Chains A and B, each alone.
Chain A
Amino acid sequence: MSVIEVASLVLALISAGALASLAILRRKTNASFREIPAYSQLNHSIGLAVEDGTRIHISLGSSNMISERSATAFAGLGMVYRLAEHTSASDQPPIASSGDGMISILSQDTLKNAYANAGADDRYDPTTRRLTGLTPYSYAAGAIPIMLDEKVSTNVLIGNFGNEIALFTDTAERKNAHSLATTDNLVSQAILFASMEKPVVGEELYAAGAYIKPDPSHSASLTIQDVLRWLIVISLLAGAALKVINLL
């Protein structure tokens, strides 16, 4: 193994150990995060949706489990679980749409477990998870009718999106529905910054589940992220400094 490979492996193992330790230590402490207005508004919108008897549409994007964007898919599935749990008592169950077969199957299983844990097994509807398209724009073309025709009052777009995310946000604005959109794609983030009142940029995507329903492991992962980020910042500055003084 090369040095880079060894360093990467060591980094991964240390992060895993720290994550497990922090998750155990933080079982009895309440997590405190900085406020992200988009997530605060989402909680409010969820409540309104349940009260109004309208749906929540969760779009997981086109990421798949075997690509490098699978983590985004996991974050989206976690969001599906939490939102389904919160809205299990609603008249209109949430709909989870995706552009990948594996994500679609996992979203179905996630919805089923959420209803089971909420004690609402009888309210689970298998048709609430949908594979609307295999390409991003076909997926957008198939998901937009859900937003238009199925009494959706809140849209949660979390996953790997391309430029087609602008179509989602534009449709939500036409329907005067609340939207929360976050993606790991840079171009899409720029589009979201222009089209959303409260954009979610960068790694805030992976903190979505913690803001909806925090748990010790999620809180620990965010802490590890912050630690590693500071390490990277320090290493970048150190490298730049060394480069300046010609040590590198």
Chain B
Amino acid sequence: MKRFWPVINTSIAAIAGFLTLLGYFIRNLKALKDFIVHGAVILAAFAILVGIANLFMVHLTKIRTRQEGNIYSFLLLTAMIVSLGFGLAFSMDPSGSNPDFMQGLFKSVIFPVETSLLALLAVTLLYASVRLLRTRTDWMSIVFLASAVIGLFTMVPLPFIGEIRILNGLRSFLMDYFVTAGARGILIGISLGVLTTGLRVLLGADRPFGGK
């Protein structure tokens, strides 16, 4: 039986995939497609719970084995437990949930942390741009930096000076043709890769779901 599990898994994946694909084109299969998709959505939701459980176990192991940075793992687990506990407690209130606590928790913790990370990203990107020519000195790097400078410089009017129409026209020209075309071409290539990768999964060539 152990030898047949890969075959069974591959068969299920292939059949479900082809039905879903055909369900987008054949209306009679739309309901089946919706059913499969909705089932996948539910699985994805439970997969989040599984992932959270895995995260909990990893950090718990880190605390138990006293690895490096285990104090941060302790803080993480504490925050996780408190958030989960308060969320369950307040959501079970028959009078109605108290979103203020959860909203306050979000606004006070998650929002500033992520915003700070994005602000840090700004400095990081600036640093990377400044050192680009030191890292890789070639013509493409110079073109890249030149386009970045032009885009930044023409995005906003100059202080105490105002807008420069030539720069606005240049920015529009670059944005409408070069930037858009390049982006479109990259997206087309990515879509082709998505197509062939999906077909490999449907045909069973790639089996990330287990067994070789």
A and B in contact, CB less than 8 Å: yes
Chain A contact residues, CB within 8 Å of chain B: 1, 5-6, 8-9, 12, 15-16, 19-20, 23, 64-66, 68, 70-72, 74-75, 77-78, 81, 98, 100-102, 104-106, 108-110, 112-113, 117, 127, 129-132, 134-135, 137-138, 140-142, 145, 149, 163-164, 166-167, 169-170, 184, 186, 189, 191, 193-195, 197, 201-203, 205-207, 215, 217-218, 221-222, 224-225, 228-229, 232
* B interface residues, how many (CB within 8 angstroms): 67
Q: Check A19–B199 contact: CB distance below 8 A.
A: yes
Pairwise interchain contact A140-B25, C-beta atoms closer than 8 A: no
Residues of B within 8 A of A127 (CB): 57-58, 61
**Which residues from A are CB-within-8-Å of B110?**
138
Give the most central of B26, B52, B199: most A CB within 10 Å. Answer: B199
- Docked complex Cα distance between A167 and B195 (Å): 30
* 22 CB < 8 A contacts A-B: A1-B26, A6-B25, A15-B196, A15-B199, A19-B199, A66-B40, A66-B41, A74-B198, A100-B47, A101-B49, A112-B210, A127-B61, A129-B54, A131-B55, A166-B125, A201-B186, A203-B189, A218-B205, A221-B196, A222-B196, A228-B195, A232-B192
Q: How far is the CB of A212 from chain B (nearest CB, A)?
A: 14
- Considering the complex, give the chain A residue whose CB is closest to the CB of B53: A131
Chain A residue contacts of B208, Cβ below 8 A = 74, 77-78, 81, 106, 109-110
Point out the residues of chain A lying under 8 angstroms from B183, CB to CB: 186
With both chains docked as a complex, state the minimum distance between the C-beta of B84 and any C-beta of chain A, in angstroms. 13
* Segment at the interface with A among B89-97, B128-136, B153-161, B163-171: B128-136
A110 partner residues in chain B, CB cutoff 8 A: 208, 210
Partner of B25, one of A9, A81, A194: A9
A111 to B169, alpha carbons, bound, how many Å?
Answer: 53
Residue B190 is within 8 A (CB to CB) of chain A in the complex: yes
- If over half of A's interface residues share one DSSP class (helix, strand or loop), that class is named, otherwise mixed; here it is helix
Known: A1-B26, A225-B193. 8 other contacts (CB 8 A): A23-B205, A74-B206, A137-B114, A145-B69, A163-B118, A203-B192, A222-B196, A232-B192
- Chain B residue with Cβ nearest A195: B128
A104 (CB) vs chain B CBs: closest residue: B51
Q: Which residue of B lies closest to A112 (CB)?
A: B210
Whether the Cβ atoms of A217 and B44 lie closer than 8 Å is no
List 6 tightest A-B contacts by C-beta distance, closest first.
A101-B47, A131-B51, A206-B193, A217-B205, A101-B51, A71-B194
| Residues in A whose Cβ lies below 8 Å from that of B81 | none
**Do the beta carbons of A205 and B121 come within 8 Å of each other?**
no
Q: Min CB distance, A139 to chain B, in Å?
A: 11
Contacts of B188 in A (CB 8 A): 229, 232
Residue of B nearest to A205 (CB): B193
Q: Which partner residue on chain B sits nearest A226 by CB separation?
A: B192
Given contacts A66-B41, A193-B144, A206-B197, contact A167 B190 (CB under 8 A): no
Q: Is the CB of B203 within 8 A of A113?
A: no
> Which A residues touch B26, using CB under 8 A?
1
Assembled-state Cα–Cα distance A193/B49 (Å): 35
**Given A131-B51, A132-B55, A193-B144, does the pair A203, B124 have CB atoms closer than 8 Å?**
no
Q: Are B200 and A218 in contact (CB under 8 A)?
A: yes
Residues of A within 8 A of B58 (CB): 127, 130
Is B175's beta carbon under 8 Å from chain A? no
* Cα–Cα, bound, A67→B134 (Å): 38
Query: Does B212 belong to the interface (CB within 8 Å)?
Result: yes
Set of chain B residues within 8 Å of A145, measured between Cβ atoms: 69, 72
Does B31 sit at the interface, judged by CB under 8 A?
A: no
Residue of B52, B72, B121, B205 touching A131 (CB-CB under 8 A): B52
Whether B192 contacts A217 by the Cβ 8 Å rule is no
